[in-house]
Amino acid sequence: MDARAKTGVSIRSAGKRYGPVVALDEVSLDIEPGEFVSLLGPSGSGKTTLLGILGGFVQPSSGSVWVGERDITFAPPHKRNIGIVFQNYALFPHMTVGENVAFPLRARREPKAGWARKVADALTMVELSGFEARNINQLSGGQRQRVALARAMVFEPQLILMDEPLSALDKQLRETMQIELRRLHRKLGATIVYVTHDQREALTMSDRVAVLKNGKLVQIDTPERLYDRPCDAFVASFIGEATLLDVSRAGDDAVRLGDALLRTAHPLPRGERLLLAVQTEKLVIDGGATTTMTTNRLSCRVTEVLYQGESLRVFAALPDGTSLSLRQPGNHDARRRIPSPGEPMTVVLDPQDTIVVPA
């Protein structure tokens, strides 16, 4: 890939309306050259509309899109120098692997003399060297995904767009391909915008994740900060397995949940109504020697324990009946520490993990 593939993207107040319906509401987003950014959100959040505006398949009602120093807002798709990997890969079954990868070169009427070298280079990048003569129906799902990626890269685009390209794969292959795509991104240094509704996928693969809701950009941040420092209740509940509990302010660095005082290492947000966002794996069962803290301890009663292979999901009830859940490792030592349903339990939440968001 040459330097053109390391061009940044600037989305400036992009909006899309369909009559009275607002599909995208004045979204602004800057993507650094070579960055991997995922657009994450539930159905109807606007992520596919935003990707369509980037690709030229959707005309914005307002705003502009720039790739480097070039305004591409109303440029047709074939003149944007953008590679696209579709959800269903959109490979041609009657063509060989080599013919599929060469298709963008043919569409752009590049000199045929250079096709073979460019196709071979693209297939080498995705570790499918020598597959040029294979038929598409002879490939596995993971191999087809890599052919689609090679086709998107063969003409050295400035930007690669991916529309949920792993959604059709089974869980194990999907997780393998997430790691493979991340490795390829580091190798190529291409600028990638990736659409997904899978939170774990976005956290695994991205340099930054942009969370959308109802057409608005709610928060964009690194996976770590997005998970540990959500900006509001929606992000906290959408990322991971958070339980949201009503708490009251108890000073500058603490909140109260029932009779329990919980100190936080983070500034409390403004507002009258506050919520404690408790991620399931952040709670630690107190065996009597795990902590000397007198705060950040919650007394509860176990209601159910579910075995889920690599982990155990423990459900408990606080004294006022509020439900709480935590996830513990599935090893035998951890399982021995979990009380049986009906028994009391104390859990500890570290101040660094005590996240309070506005309701």
Q: pLDDT tens digits for 111-147?
A: 999 999 999 999 998 889 999 999 999 998 888 988 9
Which residues are 159's β-sheet partners? Answer: 82
Say which residue the tokens 């991620």 belong to: 279
Q: pLDDT tens digits for 234-268?
A: 999 999 889 999 999 999 999 999 999 999 999 99
Residue 27: name the closest of 39, 18, 35 by CA. Answer: 39
Q: Report percent pLDDT > 70 for the chain.
A: 97
CA 323, distance to chain mean position in Å, is 27
Q: Report percent pLDDT > 90 for the chain.
A: 68
Q: pLDDT tens digits for 312-330?
A: 999 999 999 999 999 988 8
Q: pLDDT tens digits for 177-236?
A: 888 888 888 887 889 999 999 999 999 999 999 999 999 999 999 999 999 999 999 999
Whether residue 292 is predicted with pLDDT greater than 80 in this model: the reply is no
CA 55, distance to chain mean position in Å, is 20
Residue 187: the pLDDT is 80
pTM of the model: 0.86
- Domains of the chain as residue ranges with CATH: 3-227 (3.40.50.300), 241-358 (2.40.50.140)
Residue 5: the pLDDT is 41
